[in-house]
Amino acid sequence: MVLAVIVACEIGFWVVLGAGLVARYLLRMRRLGAALLVCVPLVDVVLLVATVIDLRGGATATFVHGLAAAYLGFSVAFGHSMVRWADQRFAHRFAGGPPPWKPPKGGPARVRYEWREWGKAVLAWAIACALLGGGILLVGDFARTGELAAWVARLTAVIVIWLLAYPVWTTISHRSAAE
């Protein structure tokens, strides 16, 4: 059930976002567009409630329950950026807006960009780990929540790899190029 809710929430995210952008730019209904864009985070609430109901109903936590926590963490941390990304492209394509912002290609600006993005990833990791820990405490039975603890390790590995592959590598590369 939770996997279906994750898929439905991902689809719902893009549908609500698209509807908000269509209302804002094509229909010129700015208030309706703003209201729909404000509703985008409600999709995350649906997933959170469905996951809690499933775990409280006696389900043993599976890979999918951990995936729901990771999805929620990354959605909260990167959601605003994703909405801004879509808004810029939609405004440019359909409303004569300026070209969308692009990340810097190199130099100190690229280094700052990579560290900022990693900071968002750390926030996503922290939110996901808090949700995973909350799920473990909510169920209160480690035999049923071992998969949630495994997700903490998975997400930690991802955040360390991200650190090394992007901000650290970009910083080292920039310093090498500057010398």
Rounded to two decimals, the pTM is 0.93
Decide if 110 contacts 174 (C-beta within 8 A): yes
| 68's tokens | 């729901």
118 and 111 in contact (C-beta within 8 Å)? no
Reported as a single tens digit per residue, the pLDDT across 141-168 is: 999 999 999 999 999 999 999 999 999 9
Closest CA to 2 of 58, 56, 62: 62
| Residues, the chain | 179
User: What are the tens digits of pLDDT across the range 32-91?
Assistant: 999 999 999 999 999 999 999 999 999 999 999 999 999 999 999 999 999 999 999 999
Residue in the structure block whose two tokens are 């592959």: 165
Which tokens go with 18?
């698209």
Quickly count helices (H) and strands (E) in the chain.
7, 0
Domain boundaries, the chain: 2-178
CA separation for the pair 149, 61 (Å, rounded)? 10
179 pLDDT band (50/70/90 cuts)?
confident
Q: Which residue is listed with tokens 């985008």?
A: 40
Q: What is the pLDDT of residue 1?
A: 87
Alpha carbon 26 to its chain's center: 27
